Amino acid sequence: MSASVGLTLPRVRLQLELPIRSSASYGLNTTAYFVTWSGLVFEPFVRFYEDGYRNDKGSFVQLKMLYGLLSSDRYAEFSSNIFRNTDPHYGAGLAAGRKYVILEHFSIEIIGGVRFLTQPKSLDFNNGTGNFNFSDGFVWYISNGMPIDFQVKFGIQL
Over range 7-27, report the average pLDDT: 87
Name residues whose C-beta falls within 8 Å of residue 128's C-beta, 6 or more positions apart in sequence.
Answer: none
> The domain spanning residue 142 has which CATH number?
2.40.160
Mean pLDDT value of segment 117-138 = 58
What is residue 93's predicted lDDT score, i.e. its pLDDT? 97
The domain total for the chain is 1
Most confident of the ranges 29-38, 55-64, 108-117, 118-127: 108-117
Helix/strand/coil for 137: helix
Cβ atoms within 10 A of the Cβ of 64, count?
21
Task: Give the model's pLDDT for residue 94.
Answer: 98
| pLDDT of res. 32 | 92
- Residues 6 or more apart whose Cβ sits within 8 Å of residue 80: none
Provide the pLDDT for residue 52: 65
Give residue 130's domain range: 2-156
Q: Please, where are the H alpha helices in the chain?
A: 137-141
Say whether pLDDT at 134 is over 90. no
